[in-house]
Structure 1
Amino acid sequence: MKVIASPDKNVAPGIQTIASLLAAGCLFIVEDAVALLCEVTSYVCDTKASAKGKDEPVKQNDHSLDALRYAV
């Protein structure tokens, strides 16, 4: 199997895009999206990664947020 390119696993640009769209009032989350709203309020950065100067989220209970980032 030939690998064409490795995927870019950097989530920071997607997170920044979502934050910018929300701040600009261009992205809305309906109140029926309970799982997504719960994830948004519990989203935290990994303290070990932050200590190394990296901005990485804790990969826990983030499936809805990942889906939103992929969609946008």
Structure 2
Amino acid sequence: MGAPLRKLSGDPDCKNGTCPALWGTETKESYVVQGYIETDPERLAQLDLPEGEMAVIVPAAVLEEYFRARR
């Protein structure tokens, strides 16, 4: 089992508790982003993702909440 994550911010409009969020890793050297999988072929083509990577959509409020809290 991987190291525990800690929730840093989440979608303030979330009603069910399993919405897009930003998570911190134990080492504080990286983040885990929880969001909706990007499925638009035109957007995915622009990203040119390598094998093993995935694009997710995260509401701006999730990141704004995180950066506001860090000030």
Q: What's the TM-score, normalizing by structure 2?
A: 0.28
**Relative to total residues, which structure has the larger strand share, 1 or 2?**
2
**Would you tell me which structure has more helix in proportion to its own residues?**
1
